């Protein structure tokens, strides 16, 4: 069996499994990143599936990520929560990283909201800012759509001229105002493979390339979601701001602590966004 046929088979097996198990198919998936998994606690769960019980799902090797797929209601809105994600630095290809999103798109989920922790590059940002993705730079050196295209899943050359949904972005900015959050900004997210953090020269270069924030996640999932025609909203918690002329060590525990500190604001923001988005429908 070719590698691609194997991938298709694994996806189809997983779709068939979830089709049978999920009590309903929500319109929305929220993927929670480093230190941000607690929103799941506010969900009225109908089903909690550990990733290791879902056929062909990758398993997270990072201790700050729990691995559960949760189906339920978040303040009355039907949602799937992906609590924990996979990263290329764990050894996964970007196709493997995006596996859950491909499966959910084939089940009929229409919207992807994802959160992560990122390093700020824009000097106007501060630790604790929340950045709404306006655009991105894929610097992974990999793309989840590499290889033969499955026409039924999306086009060979998907358009990325408007990568992030303008209506969701508008709602997110409006929601930030309503929630009284004054550190919500928009910006360009650069995705590096990691796991080594940026050198001063890389930080300077990323800034020069127009990146406002840098991290090691989310872009494979976003590329697959857009290929499948889903609308996407990306939210980064800015845990640290890097200055190439005054680099400070970037310490995982500090990233997690910073993400923790912003969690209540991020949760309020997401809840307001989904209320508005789904109230307007």
List of residues contacting ligand HPA (CB under 6 A): 117-119, 197-198, 214-216, 239-240, 242, 250, 255
- Which tokens sit at 252? 């995982």
Report the residue number, 96 or 198, with the smaller CB distance to ligand HPA: 198
Residue with tokens 């610097």: 139
The residue among 169 and 242 lying less far from ligand HPA, judged by its C-beta, is 242
Closer of 126 and 250 to ligand HPA (Cβ) = 250
Give backbone dihedrals phi and psi of 161, rounded to 5 degrees, phi first: -70, -25
* Minimum separation from the CB atom of position 142 to ligand HPA (A): 17
Q: Which residues pair with 137 in a beta bridge?
A: 190
Residue closest to ligand HPA when measured from CB atoms: 119
Smallest gap from Cβ 160 to ligand HPA, in A, equals 22
Rounded to the nearest whole angstrom, what is the least distance from the CB of residue 121 to ligand HPA in the complex? 8
Quick one: 26 or 119, whose CB is closer to ligand HPA? 119
Q: Per this entry, what is the length of the chain?
A: 281
In angstroms, what is the minimal distance from the CB of 38 to ligand HPA?
A: 18
Nearer residue to ligand HPA within complex by CB, 137 or 150: 137
CB of 138 to ligand HPA, least distance (A): 15
């Amino acid at each position: 069996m070719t590698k691609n046929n194997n991938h298709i088979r694994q996806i189809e097996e997983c779709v068939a499994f979830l089709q049978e198990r999920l009590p309903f198919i929500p319109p929305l998936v929220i993927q929670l990143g480093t230190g941000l998994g607690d929103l799941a606690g506010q969900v009225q769960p109908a089903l909690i599936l550990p990733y290791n019980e879902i056929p062909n799902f990758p398993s997270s090797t990072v201790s700050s990520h729990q691995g559960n797929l949760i189906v339920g209601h978040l303040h009355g809105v039907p949602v799937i929560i992906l609590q924990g994600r996979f990263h290329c630095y764990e050894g996964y290809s970007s196709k493997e990283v995006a596996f859950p999103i491909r499966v959910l798109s084939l089940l009929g989920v229409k919207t992807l909201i994802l959160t992560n922790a990122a390093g700020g590059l824009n000097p106007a940002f501060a630790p604790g800012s929340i950045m709404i993705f306006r655009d991105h730079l894929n610097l992974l050196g990999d793309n989840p759509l590499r290889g033969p295209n499955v026409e039924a899943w999306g086009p060979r050359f998907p358009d990325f001229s408007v990568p992030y949904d303008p209506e969701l972005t508008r709602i997110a900015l409006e929601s930030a105002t309503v929630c009284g959050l004054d550190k919500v900004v928009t910006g360009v997210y650069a995705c590096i493979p990691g796991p080594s953090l940026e050198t001063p020269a890389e930080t300077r270069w990323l800034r020069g390339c127009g990146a406002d924030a840098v991290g090691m996640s989310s872009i494979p999932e976003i590329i697959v979601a857009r290929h499948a025609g889903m609308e996407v909203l990306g939210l980064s918690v800015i845990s640290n701001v890097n200055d190439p002329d005054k680099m400070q060590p970037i310490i995982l525990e500090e990233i997690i602590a910073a993400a923790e500190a912003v969690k209540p604001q991020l949760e309020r923001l997401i809840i307001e966004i989904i209320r508005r988005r789904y109230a307007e429908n």
